[in-house]
Amino acid sequence: MDIPPPPAPEPHPQPGQGHGPGWPPPYPGPQQPWYPYPQPFPEPAKTSGLAVASLVTGIVCCVPPLGAVLGGLALGQIRKKGLRGKGMAVTGVVLSVVSTVLAVVFVATGAAGAFWDGFKSGVHDAQHTRSTMNLRRGDCFNVPGGELEREVVNVTVVPCDKPHDGEVSGSFKLTGSAFPGDKAITALADRRCWPVEQEYAMDSWALPAEAESYYYTPSQHSWRLGDHSVTCAFATSSGKLHGSVRNDARKLDPDQMTYLRSSNAYDRALASAPDKDRVEDDLDGFKKWAGELSDVLTRESARLRGRTWPTGADAQVQARIKEAELAQKEWAKAATAADADAFYLHSGAADRALRQATEIEARRALHLATTPPATDSGGSTSGTGGADGGSTGDSDNGGTDAGPGGGSGNGSGTGGDGSKSV
């Protein structure tokens, strides 16, 4: 009979929690598995909304005392309810107190008024800043820094009853697709801007002494960008213009306009004399010019005679017409002069026939300006410039509402960056 082997010895139990050396004896009774249970954590305190509002108000400084008030209320709320945000409330109070002190000093020293004036001025300038491409007939403007004879991109348009640097009298558009060249444009502007200005300010005797003739022409660069216009203007390089220089149909009656158009036409013809200083150097040119003057006086005398003048002005205007007709005859003789001496003889007689005293009396009777200008050259200051673009205008009538071309009053502009000089 077989004898079974003895049972194998049981493994020695491993010490666990509550077992083994150094552990207390296990708790009597049935053992249960051990599970860790989560412990509740305290909820964090909320941040005071008044403290946040105090900090924001103190930073923004919109109403300086408000931040201090909100901060004081926030500190009391924090103490009673145990809220967070004490640092924000204190910061808001400090910033608001500093802002309040500065505001009091600002007002007491008058700096507030200066700040407000400057602010309003800045807003006004921003609203009325206009590209020099977009200037229109009748616009009065100031150039940044008051420097008229330099290239600029924008100017500030201002009411004409405010001090200003210049006033646009009109513009005309150049024809052709190829750039004519600076000299050609300048020569054309010399001839075309004067009629534009005379239609805008018909009575040149009424112009202020500081008002000078300027024109602004496109550069080769701006021409390629479509800027084909010349702008004519009255401007001053020293001081300011005060009030509009405009005197046309808006201010003049039909009698005044008829008289001034005749007078201005003769002035323009006089200014178209040959470039030579002496008749001997260009007798044919001077004779041609004399013929043009004779034609102008014939036409304008007929215009004046064809009008019925007011009773109080008829005699004075008729006296002026008689002088014009006498001058016309002398210019006609100069146009057929055999030599320079004969030309001098008849041109001098024509000049003496038109007496300034007679003109003053006719002007007085028509209620026009009676003080002759200090100089009566009718010339224009010119230059070149340019703009990123052009404007439209009438290529023939020389008196449109189109925007300007570029240019510089002293002839130094180049317009390479697309700016205009005004």
Sign of the dihedral defined by the CA atoms of residues 147, 150, 153, 157, in that order: positive
Count of C-beta atoms within a 10 Å radius of residue 58: 26
**Rounded to the nearest 5 degrees, what angle is found at the Cα of 396, between the Cα atoms of 394 and 397?**
75
4, amino acid identity: P
- From CA 37, how far away is CA 55, in angstroms rounded? 43
In single-letter form, the type of residue at position 155 comes to V
**3-state secondary structure at position 47:** strand
Q: Classify 332 in phi/psi space as left (phi over 0), alpha (psi -120 to 50) or beta.
A: alpha
Are 171 and 136 spatial neighbours (Cβ–Cβ below 8 Å)? Answer: no
- Cα dist from 89 to 49, 55, 61, 86, whole Å: 10, 6, 15, 5
Q: Which residues partner with 234 through β-bridges?
A: 167, 213
Report pLDDT for 374.
78
* Element (DSSP H or E) covering residue 40: none
Can you give the pLDDT at residue 284?
Answer: 96
CB atoms < 10 A from the CB of 339, how many? Answer: 11
How far from 320 is each of 229, 269, 329, CA to CA, in Å? 38, 18, 15
Quickly list DSSP for 166-198: EEEEEEEEPPSSS---HHHHHHHHHHHHHHHHH
| Residue among 411, 416, 403, 383 at smallest CA distance from 155 | 403
pTM value is: 0.60
Query: Closest Cα to residue 262, out of 290, 295, 303?
Result: 303
DSSP state of 421: E
Amino acid at residue number 124: H
Tokens of 369: 């300006």
Q: Which two tokens stand for residue 264?
A: 């201005």
Token digits of residue 192: 């075309």
pLDDT of residue 362: 97
pLDDT of the chain, 422 residues: tens digit per residue: 556 666 665 555 555 555 555 555 555 555 555 445 555 555 666 676 766 665 666 566 556 666 666 666 767 766 666 667 677 767 766 766 676 776 666 666 655 555 545 544 444 444 457 666 677 899 998 887 766 666 666 778 999 999 999 999 999 999 888 999 989 998 898 889 989 999 999 999 999 999 988 887 787 877 887 888 888 889 988 889 999 999 999 999 999 999 999 999 999 999 899 999 999 999 999 999 999 999 999 999 999 999 999 999 999 999 999 999 999 999 999 999 999 999 999 999 999 999 999 999 999 999 999 999 876 444 444 443 443 333 333 333 333 333 333 443 433 333 433 333 44
Q: How far apart are CA 367 and CA 198, in angstroms?
A: 18
DSSP symbol at 131: E
**Residue 354 and residue 327 in contact, taking contact as beta carbons nearer than 8 Å:** yes
Radius of gyration of the chain (CA): 45
pLDDT attached to residue 399: 37
| Residue in 277, 274, 300 with CA at minimum distance from that of residue 289 | 274
Give the residue carrying structure tokens 């002398």.
330
Encoded amino acid at 194, one letter: W
- Determine contact, residues 362/259, Cβ cutoff 8 Å: yes
Contact predicate 388/119, CB 8 Å: no
Amino acid 87: pLDDT: 76
